[in-house]
Amino acid sequence: MSVESQPQRETHAFQAEINQLLSLVINSLYSHKEIFLRELVSNASDALDKLRFRTITETELLGNEPELELRITPNAALGTLTIEDTGIGMTHDELVKNLGTIAHSGSREFIQTMAQKGQKDMQLIGQFGVGFYSAYLVADRVEVVSRAAGADQRAWRWTSEAHGTFTVEPAERTSRGTAITLHLKEDQKEFLEEWRLRTLITQYSDYVGHPIKLQVAKTTGTGDDKKTEVSLEVVNKASALWQRSKSDITDEQYTEFYKHLTHDFDAPLAWTHFKTDGQQQFTGLMFVPKHPPYDLNAQQQRGVRLFVKRVFIMDRCEELVPQWLRFVRGVIDSDDLPLNVSREMLQDSAVVRAIRKHVIKKSLEMLEKLAKDKPEDYRTFWQSFGTVLKEGLATETEHREKLGVLLRYESSREEGLTSLTDYVSRMKEGQEAIYYVYGESRKAVADSPHLEALKQRGYEVLFMTDPVDEWAAQGLRDFQEKPLVSALNADLKLQSTDEQKREKEQQSEGFKALTDKMKDVLSDTVREVRVSDRLTESPVCLVLPEGGSPAYLEKLLRERGKGMPHMKRILEVNPKHPVIEHLRAVYTSDPTATQVGEWIELLHDQALLTEGSPLSDPNRFAKRMTALLTQVAAHTAPAQPRAS
């Protein structure tokens, strides 16, 4: 529909998700209502950045208005507060889309997350791209007048009291940009006071890269000569923090810049500020958050903004940060890239590859320092982002040495996390490998039969319970020249004396008839049956042949729709276990006894359960177990008392 055919005044209904969002905002018990100013200023700053970027190739967009600035105007008489920018502006359709529908705001995810957490506190509102609606924390009516940059554009007014609808109509505005006017609630008039606004701008938006001008009134003279002059004063520094010397920046300033950049209420756990002056010149300021954002696992998620010569180019520049560092937030400012750089150019740029390499190096050094200097904070980081960091071992093994130092796992030694460095320092004399077991949880693996011989020797075992752990262990391969060995593997080599080796050979020979029978009964499900030297308490366990995948990994892949054929395992039996000894005796005395096959299948089912695999026929397993318990009950029934 052309602009000329637009009706003079339109009424639209908010999309359902926006109605839900507004209800959350208006009815929240939000304790930091002043955050609305940061959100609206950030949105205005983004609009200015977008215009500056487009004018690289579309210089005509500036017209005769070269100033890029924000203006904040309180009006006590009307009870309004206006936040205005000279940025890119919005067309009629953009107003309807951006302020009335889900668009790209992420409101749906925001609502779902808030509902799941059962929270009314809106501290994360900015992280979800729905900052505009924070205006309703302090206002009962909001008006937006916007005119898109470019010749022959018209101005439009968007108005809503957040009661389910909004209106759009033609408006008067001679210059490009957007003005948001908040009609403040009676109990929110404090945000019309100069000192309050000045304090909030300094606290939250001091590092916005455009001038923020606050309208102030100054009174001079007395009596009849008393005069009040209204003027605009620049309140913020409007300088790129990352370009300043580190010695001139306080921790509080770093923290506030992080909050401005990320809309996070919590301070970062760590940061690194660096500048290179070699073949490529660029500056970086990187932060590690305390908590993960709602969309941490989104494939497109990156947290680094790209600037070129202080000009904002793009948000979430994925070419600068690998997927396994997607939790890092910050800015990179390059002096060598062209201002009109495109994503296609970034993908084939030697400058970008050099920056990416340096970003990885500095990020890993930042985490290593955090782990060394603040172990409690590093534990917080690991709980939030450890799973993501381990993806680097599965995808880019050239960083495995530095990543290996950063890894933390639970282990059989005690509750809590341990590093591989500490594990190696505690290794028993004669222990040749770092042992681990992979499974769904600590509870699922702590008493696994696969660990019995390792525990008997006093060897510590790492518990790997993240979906990515098996791939990460394969990528790491070794640490401090000690190989990583899975306790689930068939080729688990444990140090044995000559006497122990001879004993195992004798047992293998003595149990050959039984293991052959078990292989025959289980031919459809196992590839081999053999005597075990890893079992000390359990009768049987299933181990992985070379190239086999753990049961938990197979389960995860199937749940995600990946085709995962079940690879036959190797069944190991404990020759010293009473059940196995009894089974051999029964088979030796009567090779045709039907209970032999039943017991063999029951033992296999038990092995499947302990490794976390599903049973192919749970009903049959239940019947076998019932039959066995009935048989045991018959042999152990108490004697009946004699009649007197």
Q: Percentage of residues in the chain with pLDDT exceeding 70?
A: 90
pLDDT of 600 > 90? The answer is: yes
Q: Residue 4: inside a domain, yes or no?
A: no
- Rounded Cα gap, residues 97 and 304, in angstroms: 27
Residues 358 and 420 in one domain: no
Residues 358 and 445 in one domain: no
Nearest to 448 by CA among 438, 433, 457: 438
Q: Residue 1: inside a domain, yes or no?
A: no
Contacts of 102 (CB under 8 A, 6+ apart): 15, 17, 18, 108
Pairing of strands 165-171, 155-160: antiparallel
Residues 149 and 250 in one domain: no
- pLDDT band per the 50, 70, 90 thresholds, residue 626: confident
| 512 conformational bin, left if phi > 0, alpha if psi -120 to 50, beta if neither | alpha
pLDDT value, residue 126: 42
Answer with the residue of higher pLDDT: 35 or 487: 487
Answer with the residue of higher pLDDT: 482 or 57: 482
Q: What is the CATH number of the domain that holds 453?
A: 3.40.50.11260
- pLDDT band per the 50, 70, 90 thresholds, residue 107: very low
Q: Which two tokens stand for residue 644?
A: 């007197």
Domain boundary among 234, 264, 285: 234
Domain boundary among 486, 518, 547: 486
Q: Residue 389: inside a domain, yes or no?
A: no
- Predicted TM-score (pTM) of the model is 0.72
Sheet of 227-234, strands arranged across: 10-13, 165-171, 155-160, 139-147, 177-184, 80-85, 70-75, 212-220, 227-234
Residue type at 310 in one-letter notation = R
Provide mean pLDDT across the span 47-67: 88
Residues 529 and 436 in one domain: no
Domain boundary among 234, 249, 284: 234
Q: Which domain holds residue 292?
A: 241-373
Q: Residue 390: inside a domain, yes or no?
A: no
- pLDDT band per the 50, 70, 90 thresholds, residue 564: low
> Which residues are paired to 101 by β-bridges?
none
Residues 44 and 177 in one domain: yes
pLDDT of 119 > 60? The answer is: no
Residues 559 and 624 in one domain: yes
- pLDDT band per the 50, 70, 90 thresholds, residue 187: very high
Total number of domains in the chain: 4
- Rounded Cα gap, residues 218 and 216, in angstroms: 7
Provide mean pLDDT across the span 242-268: 88
Provide mean pLDDT across the span 542-566: 83
Tens-place pLDDT, residues 308-337: 877 778 877 888 999 999 999 999 999 888
pLDDT value, residue 130: 58
Q: Residue 79: inside a domain, yes or no?
A: yes
In the block, tokens 């948001």 appear at: 180
Tens-place pLDDT, residues 205-236: 877 889 999 999 888 777 777 888 899 999 98
Nearest to 282 by CA among 348, 340, 350, 345: 350
Residues 350 and 445 in one domain: no
Provide mean pLDDT across the span 449-472: 94
> Which residues are paired to 306 by β-bridges?
314, 332
Answer with the residue of higher pLDDT: 104 or 92: 92
Q: Residue 195: inside a domain, yes or no?
A: yes
Residues 223 and 250 in one domain: no
Provide mean pLDDT across the span 245-266: 87
- Rounded Cα gap, residues 359 and 355, in angstroms: 6
Q: What is the CATH number of the domain that holds 175?
A: 3.30.565.10
Q: Residue 173: inside a domain, yes or no?
A: yes
pLDDT value, residue 307: 85
pLDDT value, residue 638: 65
Q: Residue 380: inside a domain, yes or no?
A: no
Query: What distances in angstroms separate CA 592 from CA 512, 517, 525, 598, one per listed residue?
Result: 17, 11, 21, 12
- The single-letter DSSP state of residue 131 is G
pLDDT of 104 > 50? The answer is: no
Contacts of 271 (CB under 8 A, 6+ apart): 254, 258, 285, 286, 287, 288, 330, 366
pLDDT of 363 > 70? The answer is: yes
Helical (H) or strand (E) element with 408: strand 408-411
Nearest to 574 by CA among 620, 606, 548: 606
Pairing of strands 70-75, 212-220: parallel
Residues 443 and 331 in one domain: no
Answer with the residue of higher pLDDT: 53 or 105: 53
- DSSP-derived secondary structure for 55-82: TTT-GGGGTT-----EEEEEETTTTEEE
Work out the mean pLDDT of the chain and round it to a whole number. 87
- For helices 578-589 and 594-611, angle between their N-to-C axes, nearest 10 degrees: 150
Q: What is the CATH number of the domain that holds 290?
A: 3.30.230.80
- Checking 508-511 for CB contacts under 8 A at 24+ apart, the result is 510/575, 511/573, 511/575, 511/580, 511/584
pLDDT value, residue 295: 67
